[in-house]
Amino acid sequence: MPSDNIEMLLQADFDDLAGRLENDRFEKRLQFRLAARSRARLGVIGLAGGLGAAFAASQFADLGRLAAPYLAKALPSYTVSIDTATQLSAAVVLAAAVITTALVLRQDT
């Protein structure tokens, strides 16, 4: 039971105000803000993943050339050209980066 009129007055005002705030689409605005944060975060993850994969792929040609003499000795019957092997490796790394990003996106949404 309210202890005095001040309490009743505040309660009446508060209930009235809360009632009017019940259906003014605040939840929608909040959801949009939460989604915007999530989208920004995912964008950063995707960008970082793409850049990292592209950089890694760009190093494969050099690595392949360095490793070529040793590979030729170790696998004399394996005649695939170095360029083809590095391009394939780069494609695999890029695909792995895209798949990883997609998995992260899927978990976040």
Q: Which residues bind another protein (CB under 8 A)?
A: 2-22, 26-27, 29-31, 33-34, 37, 107
Neighbours of 104 (CB within 10 A): 15
- Tell me the closest approach of the beta carbon of residue 38 to another protein, in angstroms: 9
- Tell me the closest approach of the beta carbon of residue 64 to another protein, in angstroms: 42
CB distance 85 to 62 below 8 Å: no
Q: Please say which residue, 13 or 83, places its beta carbon nearer to another protein.
A: 13
Q: What are the helix and strand counts (H, E) for the chain?
A: 3, 0
Q: Which two tokens stand for residue 76?
A: 């004399």
- Tell me the closest approach of the beta carbon of residue 47 to another protein, in angstroms: 22
Q: Please say which residue, 4 or 73, places its beta carbon nearer to another protein.
A: 4
Give whole-number Cα distances, 6 to 2, 10, 18, 51, in Å. 9, 6, 18, 63
Give whole-number Cα distances, 104 to 10, 45, 49, 54, 97, in Å. 48, 8, 11, 19, 11
- Tell me the closest approach of the beta carbon of residue 83 to another protein, in angstroms: 44
Q: Please say which residue, 92 or 102, places its beta carbon nearer to another protein.
A: 102
Q: Please say which residue, 39 or 65, places its beta carbon nearer to another protein.
A: 39
